[in-house]
Amino acid sequence: MRRGAWHQCGDRSQKLVIEQLQHNAGVGVIISPRDLAYEKAVAYSQEYRQLGADVLIDLQFCYPEFTNPKLDTYATSQYRTSISQLHQISDADLLAFMCELRTEVSQLATSAIIAPAVTYESGRPDIVQLNAKLFSAAREVAYELNLPIYATAILGQSVTSSQQTTDTCLSDVTSLDADGWYFGFEFSHQERIPSVQESVLRCCVAGLRLVTTGKPVLHAYAGPMSLLSFAFGATAVGIGHWQNLWQFTPGRWEAPEVQGGGGAAPPRYFSSQLWGTIIFPDELTQIPQPLREQILASNSPFSPANLTIPWPRWTANKHLVYCLCSQAAQMAQITPAQTNAAGAISILQDAVNLHQSISNHLTLADNTAAYQSNWINALNPHFSPLFSLR
C-alpha cells in the first residue's frame, strides 16, 4: 500500500482526479462503482496508472441491497442482494462471483483487492460470518493474481457508539488473514466534520487497533480528518471533494441526494491555517487584512487570484483536495505516528488561535471552528489513552 493520499472517488470525481494527479497530488485512486460505469472505470483506470497512480476499486457491498444503473454495469453487482440471501449463496454462485471479481480487478489492473464486505453492526454475528465468507472468496482471487488482499472494516454506528462494541467488532475483523485494512468509521452525530471528542478518539483508537496488527491501514472517507489519520499510524487516507466523502455515511446508499447544498451555494476556501473553510469572498472581506493574509496562505494551483474575481465553487473543491493531499504527502514522509500526532496538534493549535482572532470580527458559518480543540484533546496523551495503547 503506497503511503499518502488516495483520491476517494464520488460523483463527478474522475476528471478532477486527473487534474490532481497532473499536479502530483495523490498516490492512488479508489474507484467508486456507485458513481462510474464499468466501461468508463476501465478507461479511467488506465489514465490514472499512466499518471503514476495505483488503483483500487471498492465494490461497495456495504449496503448490498442498494443498486443503481452504474453499479449494474459491474458483473459482480448481480450478487448484490439482501444479507440473508447472501448467506444462502451456493458454492457454484460463489465460484461465479470469484470469476467475475477476477475479471474486474484484472481489467482495472488494481494494485490490490479490497474484499467486499457488509457494514459491521453490533450484535450481528450473521454479518461477521458473511464478511468472512466474502473475504475468503476475495482472498482466493488475490492469491491467484498475486495481489495483496485488504479486508474491509467499515464500522457502522451501532458498533462505533461505544468502545466496548468497537473492540468486540475489531476482534472479529482482525481475525481475518488480511494483508491490510480498508477502514471506515460511521460517527453517531451527523456533522459536516466530526467534532465530538469521544467519537473522534474512538475512531483514532479503532484505527490504531488495526495499525498494531503490523499491516497497513487505508483510512477511507477521511477527508479533513486525514490530519489525524497519520497520527494514529495510518498508511494512506481517502480524500474526496464532496462533504459526503469526508466520513463514512449511509446517506450515500439511500435516496439520491443533491450535492453540495445546491447550485447557489457559495464557494468555500479551505485554509490549512484554519484547518477548515471560510466563505469566499463574503466572510473574508469582513476580516482585517493581516488576518486575511494568514488565512489565504494555503496556495494551490487552484487558489483564487484575488477577492474581486469570481472563484467557481468547483475550483474551490479542487483547491481543498489539493491542500489535503499536500498535507497528507508531508505526513506520509514521517513514519513515527507520535511525530505526526505532535505535528497535527501544532497545526490545530495554530488554527484555534487564528479562529479566536477571527471571532473578534465575525462568527464563521458552517460551524467551522467547532472541532479543532476537540481533536487536540483526542490526540493529546494527557487527555486520552491513545498513545498508551502502543
Q: Where are the domains of the chain?
A: 4-253, 262-389
pLDDT of the residue at 263: 56
Q: What is the rounded distance in angstroms from the CA atom of residue 188 to the CA atom of residue 201?
A: 13
8 A C-beta contact, residue 151 and residue 135: yes
Residue ranges for the chain with pLDDT beneath 70? 255-263, 383, 385, 387-390
Instruction: Determine the pLDDT at residue 151.
Output: 98
Torsion, CA 213, CA 216, CA 222, CA 226, rounded to 10: 100
pLDDT tens-digit readout, 28-73: 999 999 999 999 999 999 999 999 999 999 999 999 999 999 999 9
Residue-wise burial string across 27-45, b where 16 or more C-beta atoms lie within 10 A, e elsewhere: bbbbbbbbbbebeebeebb
What is the per-residue pLDDT for 254? 76
pTM for the structure as a whole: 0.96
Q: What is the DSSP pairing of strand 54-57 with strand 28-31? A: parallel
What is the rounded distance in angstroms from the CA atom of residue 188 to the CA atom of residue 372?
18
pLDDT score for 261: 45
173: Cβ contacts below 8 Å, ≥ 6 apart: 120, 151, 153, 181, 210
* pLDDT at position 40: 98
> Check: CATH 3.90.650.10 for 4-253?
no
Kindly state the DSSP code that residue 266 receives in the 8-state scheme: P
Predicted local confidence at residue 212, as pLDDT:
96
Nearest partner of 270 among 298, 236, 231, 293, judged by Cα: 298
